[in-house]
């Protein structure tokens, strides 16, 4: 799961924080509430996750508990990739 977490964190930093890491962005920091992500950003993140990890995210899975934090996304991707090779 460490690799998934670091991949997601790197994407968020590069694409939404303009390459400037935010020390307050812990695994449990709320990304929408703190202004890191907006609705368009969530869609970009979903597209990245689908391509990077070879999974499909259903509209019913677009929930705060799956995409609200780096930790939540890490657990979500880990569940979805169980048994799926994501090179």
Q: Comparing C-alpha atoms, which of 38, 85, 25, 60 is closest to residue 8?
A: 25
Distance from C-alpha of 18 to C-alpha of 29, rounded to nearest angstrom: 18
- For residue 45, give the CATH number of its domain: 1.10.1200.10
Predicted confidence (pLDDT) per residue in 44-77, tens digit: 999 999 999 999 999 999 999 999 999 999 999 9
* 86 inside domain: no
Say how many C-beta atoms besides its own lie within 10 A of residue 20's C-beta: 7
* 37 inside domain: yes
The pTM of this model reads: 0.88
- The total domain count for the chain is 1
Using CB atoms within 10 A of its CB, is residue 55 exposed (0-12), middle (13-18) or buried (19+)? middle
In the chain, the N- to C-terminal Cα span, in Å, equals: 13
Residue 24 structural domain: 2-81
* 32 inside domain: yes
* 62 inside domain: yes
Residues 3, 81 contacting (CB under 8 angstroms) = no
* 67 inside domain: yes
């Amino acid at each position: 799961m460490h690799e998934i977490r670091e991949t997601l964190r790197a994407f968020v930093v590069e694409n939404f924080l303009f390459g400037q890491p935010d020390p307050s962005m812990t695994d449990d920091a709320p990304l929408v509430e703190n202004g890191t992500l907006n609705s368009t950003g969530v869609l970009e993140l979903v597209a990245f996750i689908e391509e990077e990890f070879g999974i499909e995210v259903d509209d019913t899975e677009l929930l705060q508990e799956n995409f609200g934090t780096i930790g939540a996304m890490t657990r979500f991707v880990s569940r979805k990739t169980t048994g799926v090779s994501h090179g």
